[in-house]
């Protein structure tokens, strides 16, 4: 006697949470739901490739209402169905409410009539919603920092501090850029809310891509370039040490503020060290703002060269003494040095 059938899933809300589905089976069950309500269809168990014990593996099985499946039965009364897998196709009509069975009772699936049930990403559609949406959120012409060069007088001459021009950069293009899959090489998992996972083996366009339905995504493109685009906030928590190596330049552009706190627990020896290798400078450019420092201890500087400053006015307010050790002390462009309530020791 024949023991293989096809049917349509009409309920996936298993009260036992065992990953079972109610299936209306062609040749066994009537299409009229008034003759056989969904609630009276037997629960079908899915033959899974992994996840059959102790919550391990991939669970629960992923089918939605309206999915056509291949079914057999464990019993002669055909009350213990087994689902062996789904039967993708090209639906003649989209989901719609109906009193008849063999369709999604909620009228949602299939989403589109006449379109393959295989993911549009796996088919390599250039108009697929996910890559088009990612392109619409793509940042371009992002400005980077620059530094205005200047001349400053020194003892006996002038010094030119060279500037550096800030360029712009674009996040890589998606459609006809990183995304160019060819069927059947793109292996895709898509969920009903819009989460996407792709492993694309297309020659010359290999990718690994993970998208959240809200629009955030991570993607490794063919040459290994990595893009992380976060729509909302991002938190990085490291409970031990964190190490990072950048073989080239690191460029950051921040629309808001930047705050760095070091030695949060006030532990001695947790210093903030910055080293710049030989032949490079530290350049700070403040546009229409001030450079403010509030130090609760000492400021110690060792300069193995000259210290050159150019300004409108210089004011030093010392509650105790000012001591300057110098071979020569020259005040250029002034007839006098005024001392108000203190002394200057020239050693």
Radius of gyration over alpha carbons of the chain, in Å? 35
pLDDT at 280 over 60: yes
Give the CA dihedral 311, 316, 317, 318, nearest 10 degrees. Answer: 160
Query: What is d(CA 194, CA 192) in angstroms, rounded to the nearest whole number?
Result: 5
Q: What is the pLDDT of residue 333?
A: 63
Break the chain into its structural domains and give their ranges. Answer: 5-86, 129-229
Answer yes or no: is pLDDT of 336 > 90.
no
Query: Residue written as tokens 């366009």?
Result: 205
Summarised one tens digit per residue, pLDDT across range 31-81 is: 999 999 999 999 999 999 888 899 888 888 999 999 999 999 999 999 999
Range 129-229 classified under CATH 3.10.450.190 = yes
Query: In the predicted model, what is the mean pLDDT of residues 125-141?
Result: 97
Model confidence band, residue 123 (pLDDT cutoffs 50, 70, 90):
very high
Q: Does domain 5-86 have CATH number 3.40.50.1820?
A: no
Angle 263-278-285 (CA atoms, 0-180°, nearest 5)? 65
pLDDT at 154: 87
pLDDT at site 337: 64
- Distance of alpha carbon 101 from alpha carbon 30, whole angstroms: 8
32 in Cβ contact with 41 (< 8 Å)? no
Instruction: Give the predicted TM-score (pTM) of the model.
Output: 0.88
């Amino acid at each position: 006697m024949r023991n293989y059938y096809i049917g349509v899933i009409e309920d996936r809300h298993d009260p036992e949470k065992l990953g079972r589905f109610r299936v209306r089976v062609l040749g066994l069950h009537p299409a009229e739901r008034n003759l056989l309500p969904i609630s009276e269809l037997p629960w079908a168990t899915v033959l899974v490739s992994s996840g059959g014990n102790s919550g391990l593996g991939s669970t629960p099985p992923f089918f939605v209402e309206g999915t056509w499946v291949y079914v057999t039965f464990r019993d002669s009364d055909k009350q213990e169905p087994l689902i062996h897998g789904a039967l993708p196709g090209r639906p003649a009509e989209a989901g719609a409410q109906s009193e008849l069975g063999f369709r999604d009772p909620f009228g949602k699936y299939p989403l589109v009539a006449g379109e393959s049930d295989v993911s549009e990403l796996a088919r390599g559609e250039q108009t697929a919603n996910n890559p088009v949406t990612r392109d619409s959120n793509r940042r371009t012409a992002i400005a980077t920092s620059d530094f205005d060069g200047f001349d400053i007088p020194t003892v006996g001459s002038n010094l030119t501090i060279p500037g550096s021009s800030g360029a712009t950069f674009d996040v890589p293009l998606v459609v006809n850029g990183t995304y160019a899959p060819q069927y059947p090489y793109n292996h895709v998992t898509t969920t009903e809310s819009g989460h996407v996972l792709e492993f694309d083996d297309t020659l010359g366009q290999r990718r690994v891509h993970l998208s959240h339905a809200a629009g955030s995504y991570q993607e490794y493109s063919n040459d290994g370039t990595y893009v992380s685009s976060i729509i909302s906030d991002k938190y990085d928590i490291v409970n031990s040490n964190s190490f990072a190596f950048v073989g080239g330049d690191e460029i950051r552009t921040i629309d808001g503020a930047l705050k760095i706190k070091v030695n949060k627990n006030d532990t001695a020896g947790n210093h903030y060290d910055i080293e710049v290798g030989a032949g490079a400078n530290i350049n700070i450019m403040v546009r229409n703002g001030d450079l403010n420092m509030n130090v609760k201890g000492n400021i110690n500087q060792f300069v193995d060269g000259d210290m050159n400053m150019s300004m409108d006015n210089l004011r030093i307010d010392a509650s105790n003494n000012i001591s300057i050790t110098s071979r020569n002390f020259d005040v250029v462009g002034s007839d006098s040095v005024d001392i108000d309530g203190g002394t200057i020791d020239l050693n």
